[in-house]
Amino acid sequence: MSPSLTIEAWGLIALSIQALIHVSVQGLVLKASVGNTWTVGSRDIPMEPGNLAARAKRAAENFQETAIAFLAIALVIILADLSNKVTSVGCIIYIVGRIIYLPAYLAGLPWVRSLIWNASTAGLVAMIVGVFF
């Protein structure tokens, strides 16, 4: 029988799924914005994506900026067997925040999006704090 996964391990799985969603959404929205001919071509001539495609790209870039921190923290927690209530709650806050961040960004909700980003970042901070206390 294999051991059960910690919340942080499930968080890593969720992070991987979110990465695939970001890439897929970004690609689909870009294709809708500039057309299939350009997206499957050599892309030698730059195209200006529409607002939604630009938002999807920025959301994906933002995701990548915090995903690396989550990945590092979660791996330390898992490998050092440091999972506890604080790290688990922090993990859940981060993952849920990142799930709702993408639609908020795509919808163009600046204050809501910023609040979601702050909440998910607070989840990362909770995970770090949980490692030490």
Q: Residue 85's closest CA among 4, 12, 13, 7? A: 7
Per the structure, the complete domain to which residue 12 belongs is given by 7-132
The confidence score (pLDDT) of residue 26 equals: 94
The confidence score (pLDDT) of residue 1 equals: 45
Q: 79: domain CATH number?
A: 1.20.120.550
Q: What is the largest CA-CA distance in the chain?
A: 56
Q: What is the mean pLDDT of each run of 10 residues along the chain (133 residues)?
A: 83 97 95 84 84 95 96 98 98 98 95 96 98 93
Task: Assess if residue 114 is contained within a domain.
Answer: yes
**Total count of domains within the chain:** 1
Task: Assess if residue 1 is contained within a domain.
Answer: no
What tokens does 3 get?
């051991």
Task: Assess if residue 125 is contained within a domain.
Answer: yes
What tokens does 14 get?
């969720």
Task: Assess if residue 2 is contained within a domain.
Answer: no
